[in-house]
Amino acid sequence: MLSAATGLLLAMLGSAHQATPVPAAATASPLPAVRIDDVTRFYAVYDRAHGKPTADALQVGYLDPGSTGLQQFVTARIGSAQKLAMAITKSPQDYAGARRCVQALPAVRERLGPVFTRLAELDPDAKFPPVTIVVGRNNTGGTTTAAGVTIGLEVICRADWLDPDVVERLVHLIAHEYVHVQQPAAQAEPPTKATLLFQSLVEGGAEFIGELTSGEVTNSHLKRWTRDGRCAIESRFQAQATGTDTSGWLYNGPGTPEQPGDLGYWVGYRIVRAYYDQASDKQHAIQAILRVDNANAADFLRRSGWRAENDCRSA
C-alpha cells in the first residue's frame, strides 16, 4: 500500500537483523520482471508533442501498446487518455521534472535483483509478480496488489523528502511495496474497527523487511525528523494504539521536519524491529511479521517487548 506520502505514498542493515540462513533450494524462485518500457513509450509521445501530447496521441502511442501493469493502472488510477492529457496540462513541471528519473531506471532494475534474492531467503514462500514503472495521472505513487507492483514515476520522482538519490529512493520504495505483496492483510481493505496499531504494524513490517532486503527503509527521513521528539511521539502513539483513528498517523502526507507526517510507519517499524530483535527463531519472526492482522496485533505488540517508556529512558 502506498500512502498519501510515499504512495503519496509511500537504520542501515545491521548484523543483528540477519535472518537465519535457508537451504539453497528455497531461494530458487525466479526473479520478477521489472518493466520500464512504458516510461520510454510515454516520453516518446511526450517529446514528439513538445511536452503537450493530446489524448489521442497518448492513447495510440502510450496506453494502447502498454504493458499489463499499465493497463491495470489505467483502470485503477489513470482513468483515460483524456484525464492523463489534462493532468499533464495542469502540472507540466511534474512531467518535465520526471525526466531526470528516467535515466536512473536501468540502474534501479539492476539493484532490485539482489533485493528479490534476499526476500526469497527471508521468506521461502514469497511470491514474485512483476514490477511495472509507468507515468500516471499525478494522483498516486502507485498501486500494489497480489498481481504486482506498479509505480507512478512522476509522483515518486518529486518526493524529494525521501532518499535524495533517485535510484535508492525507487529501490527502497519497491522493496517496501514488495513486502505488501506478501502480507495477506495488505491485500484486503482494513476490517471494521481496524486499530491504529494493526495498520501501523502492516506498514512498519513492510518498512522493516524492506530494510532487510534493500538496506534502508522508505521513509528514512523520519529518522532525522523524529530524533528530538521520539519520546513524545511514541508515548502519544502508545496512548492511541488501540483506537481506530489513524488520521494523525498514516497517509497524512510527509509533513515537515517540525511536524512530520506518516509517523505510524516509523513507530510501526520500531515495534516490528523490537519483535525481530528479541526473537530466537528469525525465520518464524519473519512469518509472524508478514501475518500480522487486526486480531493478533495486540499480542504481537506484547511479545515484541516494545514500550514507549523504554525509548523515553534512552532519549
Give domain status of residue 8, yes or no. no
pLDDT above 50 (res 6): no
pLDDT score for 315:
58
Across 72-79, average pLDDT: 96
Across 63-88, average pLDDT: 97
Tell me how far apart the terminal alpha carbons of the chain are, to the nearest angstrom: 31
The SS3 assignment for 284 reads helix
Name the least confident of 24-28, 149-153, 293-297: 24-28
Across 151-158, average pLDDT: 97
Give domain status of residue 288, yes or no. yes
Across 251-262, average pLDDT: 94
Q: 60: which 3 cell numbers?
A: 495510440
Give domain status of residue 3, yes or no. no
pLDDT score for 234:
96
pLDDT score for 27:
42
pLDDT score for 10:
43
Q: 112: which 3 cell numbers?
A: 532490485
pLDDT above 90 (res 30): no
Across 182-193, average pLDDT: 95
Residue 250 near residue 266, CB atoms below 8 Å: no
Give domain status of residue 210, yes or no. yes
Residue 221 near residue 263, CB atoms below 8 Å: no
Instruction: Compute the chain's Rg from CA coordinates.
Output: 20
Across 258-268, average pLDDT: 97
Alpha carbons 140 and 78: distance in angstroms, whole number: 9
pLDDT score for 310:
85
Give domain status of residue 5, yes or no. no
The per-residue pLDDT of the chain, averaged, comes to: 91
pLDDT score for 24:
39
CA neighbor of 135 nearest in space, from 56, 218, 77, 219: 77
For cell 529512558, name the residue: 313
How many domains are there within the chain?
1
What is the per-residue pLDDT across 35-73, written as a single tens digit (0 to 9) for each?
999 999 999 999 999 999 999 999 999 999 999 999 999
CATH number, domain at 255? 1.10.390
pLDDT score for 3:
43
pLDDT score for 184:
97
- 148-152 vs 142-145, strand pairing mode: antiparallel
Give domain status of residue 157, yes or no. yes
pLDDT score for 14:
30
- 34-35 vs 131-134, strand pairing mode: parallel
pLDDT above 60 (res 17): no
Give domain status of residue 76, yes or no. yes
Residue 37 near residue 134, CB atoms below 8 Å: no
Give the neighbor-by-neighbor strand order of the sheet with 148-152. Answer: 34-35, 131-134, 148-152, 142-145
Q: Is 57 exposed, middle or buried (0-12, 13-18, 19+ CB in 10 A)?
A: middle
Q: 142: which 3 cell numbers?
A: 502507485
Quote the domain boundaries for residue 242. Answer: 15-314
The SS3 assignment for 226 reads coil
Confidence of residue 207 (pLDDT cuts 50, 70, 90): very high
Alpha carbons 151 and 73: distance in angstroms, whole number: 9
Using alpha carbons, list the distances in angstroms from residue 236 to 18, 44, 164, 181, 240: 31, 50, 30, 30, 6
- 262 Rama class: left (phi>0) / alpha (psi -120 to 50) / beta: left
pLDDT score for 312:
85
pLDDT above 70 (res 117): yes
